[in-house]
Amino acid sequence: MAKVKPRVKVPKTADAGEIIEIKTLISHPMHSGRAVDGDGNLVPRQIIHSFRASFNGKLVMSVDLKPSVSANPFFTFPFKATASGTFDFIWIEDGGKEYTKSKKISIG
Amino acid sequence: MHWLGAAGFGAMVSKNALAGSDEAAARINEITGGAEGDDALIILDLPEIAENGNAVKVAFDIDSPMTEENYVKAVHILADGNPEPEVATFNFSPAMGACYATTRMRLSKTQKVYVVAAFSDGSYGSASATVKVTIGGCGG
């Protein structure tokens, strides 16, 4: 399987109270369990089934993903920046493997 | 990836958006407990025509103050023509300050896509739109 690589775009700085946009992408085939490979064999299901974004340890948003989410799951969503701190992003694959990424933001 | 109709369009919420078909409707009924959809303001942005069903952009924007007292708890995306109608469920918090999100989904054929929002006061809202799919996105 191609290398699974998470990527996140968060502004480095923001004004207090500013609503910023967060963009996340993880390179992942999202095998739905319905497609067949070149030899006609069914490719077993292997997807990222869960995504979570936290700020300073507190959950901001999460997503439950089904096989209908496209390969290389991509999300954009807002966040109201009120304090400096660290975002932690986590993607969980079928079987429990976790991929993580962190980003810092400073206010002012 | 290519798609026609990339301009997309915004669909205002309508009450009959909750009257979906078959499995998707059953799932929506499970989510809402059969409650009528509110006239909440949901803007659903989908292409009218998707040339490639493997990656169809879906975006929604919901008018909510996103405060502890009044926020959008969850947004469900469902596609009634896919083998499994559920696409993704977003769980939100007031920390976001606004309520919108974007992702990409697979659509196996031309079908109706629903967005169902669950508000913190226990009410629901929904919007739907039909996407014409030229090449389905569930095979290899």
- pLDDT of B120 over the 90 cut: yes
Distance from C-alpha of A48 to C-alpha of B120, rounded to nearest angstrom: 27
Residue B131 CB-density burial (10 A; 0-12 exposed, 13-18 middle, 19+ buried): buried
- Asked if A66 and B86 touch (Cβ cutoff 8 Å), the reply is yes
Minimal-distance CA residue of chain A relative to B86: A66
Model confidence at B52, pLDDT cuts 50, 70, 90, reads very high
Q: What is the pLDDT of residue B41?
A: 80
Please report, for chain A, the start and end positions of each structural domain, with discontinuous segments joined by +.
5-24+43-107
Q: Which residues lie across from A71 on neighbouring strands? A: none
Q: Return the number of CB contacts < 8 Å for A and B.
A: 97
**Token pair recorded at residue A71:** 């390969």
% helix, strand, coil for chain B, step of 5: 15, 45, 45
Q: Which residue has the higher pLDDT, B49 or B36?
A: B49
Of B83, B103, B140, the CB nearest to A36: B140
Looking at every residue in chain B, the average pLDDT score rounds to: 84
Q: What is the pLDDT of residue B29?
A: 87
- pLDDT of B34 over the 90 cut: no
Taking any CB pair shorter than 8 Å as contact, residues of chain B touching chain A are 54-56, 66, 79, 82-84, 86-93, 95-107, 137-140
Model confidence at B9, pLDDT cuts 50, 70, 90, reads very low
**Token pair recorded at residue A104:** 């810092």
- pLDDT tens digit string along B78-107? 999 999 999 999 999 999 999 999 999 999
CATH numbers and ranges of domains, chain B: 9-135 (2.60.40.2470)
- pLDDT tens digit string along A39-51? 999 999 999 999 9
C-alpha dihedral sign at B81, B84, B90, B91 = positive
Q: What is the pLDDT of residue B23?
A: 84
Q: Give the mutation candidate from A15, A22, A41, A68 for the B interface (greatest B CB count, under 10 A).
A: A68
Distance from C-alpha of B73 to C-alpha of B99, rounded to nearest angstrom: 10
Model confidence at B1, pLDDT cuts 50, 70, 90, reads very low
C-alpha dihedral sign at A92, B61, B57, A36 = positive
Please tell me what DSSP assigns to residue B26. Answer: H
pLDDT along chain A (108 residues), means of 10: 89 97 98 91 96 98 98 98 98 98 96
CATH class of segment(s) A5-24+43-107: mainly beta
Minimal-distance CA residue of chain B relative to A61: B92
Model confidence at B33, pLDDT cuts 50, 70, 90, reads confident
B101 and A76 within 8 Å at the Cβ level: the answer is: yes
Q: What is the pLDDT of residue B100?
A: 98
Minimal-distance CA residue of chain A relative to B103: A75
Taking any CB pair shorter than 8 Å as contact, residues of chain A touching chain B are 19, 32, 34-37, 55, 58-80
